[in-house]
Structure 1
Amino acid sequence: MLFFNHLRHFTIRFLLTSLLTIALVIGWSAIAHSQLPSLPTAASDDPRQPPDGVTRLGVYEIAMVLSPLDNKFLFEVVSPTVFNRDKPTEESLPVEVRVEEIRQRLRRLFHRAIKAKQTPIVSIATLNNRSILQLSDDQTSRPLKLVTLTEPDADYHGKTLEELAKEWQQILQVEVERIDQLFSRPVLLQRIGQSLQIAIGLLLGSFVLWFLRQALIRKQEALQTRHLESKAGSEDTTAAQFDAEISPTQILESSQTEAEAITHQRSQFLALLQQQFSLKRQLDIYSFLNWVLFWVFILLWYIGIAVIMSRVPFLMRWAIEATAAPLLLLVIWFFISLAIRIGKSLIDRLTHAWTTHPYLPLSETQRIALRAATVSGALKGLITFVFIMLGIVFSLSVFDVPTSSILAGGAVIGIAISLGSQSLIKDMVNGCLILVEDQFAVGDVIQIGDKSGLVENLNLRVTQLRDSEGKLITIPNSNITDASNLTRLWSRVDFSILVDYGNDPQQVINVLSQVSQQLYNEPQWRELMPNPPEVLGIDDLSHTGMLMRVWIQTTPMQQWIVGREFRLRVRQAFAANNIQIGRPQWITYNTDSTNIQIESSSPHRNFTGEID
């Protein structure tokens, strides 16, 4: 049942694609000349310039006469140069008008040659003392005038009128005989049979390509499944090995074991990235093969239809259009799609080189890996948009549409839109810079001005924070000038406390060092502290006491929980060692200058609650 569903979907897509290709090839001439006429350009608006298809050589203008059967070149006709086509003189007939008149008469020759039982004869005659070529057949009693030879024709070709008349007579006679032969019943049936054979070959080739594409799709799906299974197994193995290698016992035994465990975990992560990149390359190869099969399918049908049109006499007049303008359009989009694929492949390689830097910390490597996906996706979208716009511009030039005017109009519209949405553009530009420079990302805790919180959402226009009260704060990216990232790579507890001058400073430092080391030695807290705490000592002296400072480096977003635990232990240690905290003091002056009393703002209490 599944096979028949795939076959039905393929048949529908196949018929639609075939009809579209046939319409493109057969209807190209009508589309180009009737529905979408060439827009006027500077050259065509100037009456002093010759129109398309006309060549000016001094006093003569030359144009080609084509076969009514397949637009094959027959000969060139010449007329005196017309410098102002808005006001032509009675004696000078523009050469394009003369060519159009000859073309219409050759169309009548074509129909007469098809209907005639015997091959018509092209002969030379004289009309009003001028040499003409005429067609005589067995269906009409009056000859058909084809071409009138003029002195400019003979002068341009370097022959006499009689010699030129005989040459053109032979050319037209050969053309009449060719038309009569191609439309004879045996030849016509033979060519139609050959066209049917080509059509059957196209169908068989299309089904072969379809089966190849289905095989590639099945391989892609199997490869994707194996990758997901290996990725899950690799992650489980890495987690188990990491847990085993950095167990609490081993952490207490040796810091070297911890370093080896972290190095092993980082190696596992880089190996996982390498495996993903290898899979991506294989999937890209399969995708490229699918792309090649698609273009082989298009090329197969294009060549087949072009050959059929060149074989069937009724379709031969469109054969040149089928191998010219549509082919140019297909070539344009082939190279556009190829450029897009090459650009995406280069972005993937640069992304892989960016995310597998061997000297970056593991947390930074993971962060870059997450950010690289967003950046590469944006770059791929930009490349696709740019190349598609180039393809549209080149395609319009095939239709003789003045692309310079379209680009100028688009630039004016773009300027108007940019002026009307300056703030939006500023938001998007600043959002791109935040993303590319990795100032912060979703999950970071940042401070912007007087606002701080966890980044819940980040896009090109706004940044949304969730503060400690649960408020969702939305900040336009253009308003972000200074951003403080509190959780990038690592965080810090900046602990400071005032102690009384009556305490021994060295004792206070020893107690703080002891509390810090005890906290660092415990496995559950050491996992959150990459390095031992630093007791900096006395950081300030004031009337309230001595300011003691301790720095504790933590993993990202763990500074608050570590800080709370450290403050609790310092409070307990100060109480156990009878260390008094600082308090404000003032000096009271009496009338007796020899009696100066220093008092505190409150009774002197130690951590045990006793009043001194």
Structure 2
Amino acid sequence: MILIAEAAAVCGDQEGLASNWLCELVLEQTGNEALARVSGFGTTLIRVAIILVAAFLISLLVRRWVTRFAKKMEGKISQRLGRLKDSQKYRVRRFQRLQAIAGVLRGALAVVIWLTALLMVIATLGFPLQPILAGAGLAGIVLGFGAQQLVRDILAGIAMLIEDQYGVGDWIEVEGQIGLVERVGLRSSSFRDIDGVLHHVLNGYIQRVGNLSQEWARATFDVPVSLDADLLAAKQVIYDVANELANDPVWGPDIISAPEIWGVQEFGPDGIKVRLVLPTKPMVNFDVTRQLRERMKLAFDAHGIRMPAQQVDLGGMRTGFPVATSTTDRQGRYEADPDSTSDGFSPRDMTDELRIKRGDEVRPD
């Protein structure tokens, strides 16, 4: 009969980490200490294998659970925000957000699972955990100071994805630059501006971002009108042009509500500006504004409504176009006398005066 003291010396203390029943059984049956130690090491390897297999299985279960949880969370967020509609673009966007959020959760939980498994393996092999944990804590502090910006970028990326601030295919404005989002990551995002330049921006540095592609947009047009024009008639023409565009079979589907005349936006010696507002679908407001400008010019010409003059200051001589000696034909088109200005002298007189100021010789006619 093998004594308990002898078994403890060969296989380890019964209360210690290195003790195992197989070593004691082999020692008791064979009395061979070397074989007992080998069998004891084999038992340790079996324990390590069990820990690793358990960690792997738990990781698989967690991956499936995270995927289901992310789908439920995505549905709740989409319903609360009310922005993700049932279209191909938004389905792709939902899928991208789902993958990003699920990836973050899977990565975080995988780190916890495998770190726990590593500590268990170290304990199974009989190494003390206290020095390892102390060293890991110190290393974590050092890495924490060095990776503050990285952590900040990743946290900002997670918040951006959860709040649906922007996604691939959106037009955004960041620090005065407008571009199309081509990539959204946890650490950084990329967008390409209208000149084709690809900008890479760290998520942690984005303090304010404007999204031009969400929900709706607004075509805002400040229509210039001359001071001597009939303001009420001009406002009626402006509204009629906008209303005609809203009912157009081509442009109408992009306009989501009736036009609004907000009134006089600016008033000055050069004329007034009447603000016209037309709510549109996202990213079509620029095209709608261009179409409004074109149609407004044609309508003003047809109704004889004049645009304000552009005042030009040439070395103290103030000139204006259109000028006082202008005429208006029956079609309402504006015609100016090419040899006269609003100050009563011809362009040749202005040219001579400028030459005198420069010291050039003025030749008589």
Question: Scaled by the length of structure 2, what TM-score is found?
Answer: 0.69
Q: Secondary structure at the match of 1:527?
A: helix
Alignment of 1:52-131 (within 5 A): 52-53=13-14, 69-70=25-26, 106-107=31-32
Change (3 A) 1:66 1:452: closer
- Answering whether residue 272 of structure 2 is matched by residue 546 of structure 1, we say yes
2:245/2:252 contact within 8 Å kept: yes
Whether contact under 8 Å (1:491, 1:555) holds in the other structure is yes
Matches of 2:20 and 2:158 in 1, distance apart? 57
Query: Structure 1 or 2: larger helix share?
Result: 1
Residues 469-521 of structure 1, C-alpha deviations (whole Å, 9 max, x = no match): 22223333333222222222222211112211211111111111111111111
**Deviation (angstroms), 1:331:** 4.9
CA spacing shift, 1:388–1:348, aligned 2, 3 Å: farther
2:254 partner SS:
coil
Partner of 1:325: 47
Shift of the 345–409 alpha-carbon distance from structure 1 to 2, 3 Å rule, reads: farther
Name the CA shift for 1:65/1:449 in 2 (closer, same or farther; >3 Å): closer
SS at match of 1:536: strand
Residue aligning to 1:609: 334
Aligned partners of 1:492 and 1:553 also within 8 Å: yes
Kept after mapping to 2: 8 A contact 1:543/1:585: no
Instruction: Give 2:297's aligned residue.
Output: 571
Tell me which residue corresponds to 2:185: 459
Q: Say which SS state the counterpart of residue 524 (structure 1) adopts.
A: coil
2:98 aligned to 359, 364, 372, which one?
Answer: 372
Residues 1:346 and 2:69 aligned together: yes
Query: Normalised by the size of structure 1, how large is the TM-score?
Result: 0.44
Contact residue 225 and residue 305 of structure 2 kept, 8 A? yes
SS across alignment from 1:550: strand
Query: In the TM superposition, what is the alpha-carbon distance from 1:70 to its structure 2 partner?
Result: 4.0
What corresponds to 1:437 in structure 2? 163
Distance 1:359 1:469 in 2: 33
* Contact 1:531/1:553 (<8 A) preserved: yes
1:416 and 1:443 map into 2 onto residues whose CA distance is 39
Q: 1:208-227 alignment to 2 at 5 Å?
A: none
- The letter for the 1-side match of 2:154 is M
Unaligned runs of 5+ in 1: 1-32, 38-50, 56-62, 73-102, 112-313, 587-598
| 1:358–1:582 Cα change, 3 Å | closer
Aligned length: 311
Work out whether residues 71 and 98 of structure 2, in 8 Å CA contact, stay in contact via their aligned partners in 1: no
Alignment correspondent of 1:406: 132
Render the CA deviation track for 1:93-119: whole Å, top value 9, x for unaligned.
xxxxxxxxxx99x449xx9xxxxxxxx
Work out whether residues 351 and 376 of structure 1, in 8 Å CA contact, stay in contact via their aligned partners in 2: no
Equivalent position of 1:396 in the other structure: 122
Note if contact 1:543-1:584 (Cα within 8 Å) is conserved in structure 2: no
Distance 1:398 1:65, change over 3 A: closer
Q: Which residue of 2 aligns with 1:419?
A: 145
Amino acid at match of 1:458: V
Equivalent residue number for residue 508 of structure 1: 234
State the Cα distance separating 1:585 from its structure 2 match: 6.6
Distance 2:270 2:287 in 1: 28
Aligned 8 A contact 1:495 1:550 in 2 = yes
Summarize deviations over 1:28-84 as a string: whole Å, max 9, x none. Answer: xxxxx99xx9xxxxxxxxxxxxx84379xxxxxxx9999965467xxxxxxxxxxxx
- The whole-number CA distance in structure 2 between the counterparts of 1:64 and 1:540 is 90
Select between 327-336 and 340-349 the one with higher mean Cα deviation.
Answer: 327-336
Structure 2 unmatched ranges of 5 or more: 1-8, 313-317, 338-365
Counterparts of 1:429 and 1:319 in 2: how far apart (Å)?
A: 44
Query: What whole-Å deviation, never above 9, does each CA across 1:243-278 have from its counterpart, x for those lacking one?
Result: xxxxxxxxxxxxxxxxxxxxxxxxxxxxxxxxxxxx
Deviation at 1:412?
2.4
Larger CA Rg, structure 1 vs 2: 1
Q: Distance in 2 between matches of 1:65 and 1:602?
A: 105
SS at match of 2:250: helix
Kept in 1: contact 2:55–2:113 (CA 8 A): no
- Secondary structure of 2:335's partner? coil
* Residues 464 and 473 in structure 1, CA contact (< 8 A), matched pair in contact too: yes
Provide the rounded CA distance (Å) in 2 between the counterparts of 1:64 and 1:399: 12
Please tell me whether the aligned partners of residues 440 and 446 of structure 1 are also in contact (alpha carbons under 8 angstroms): yes
Distance 1:511 1:361, change over 3 A: farther
Q: Secondary structure at the match of 1:601?
A: strand
Cα separation, 2, equivalents of 1:414 and 1:319: 32
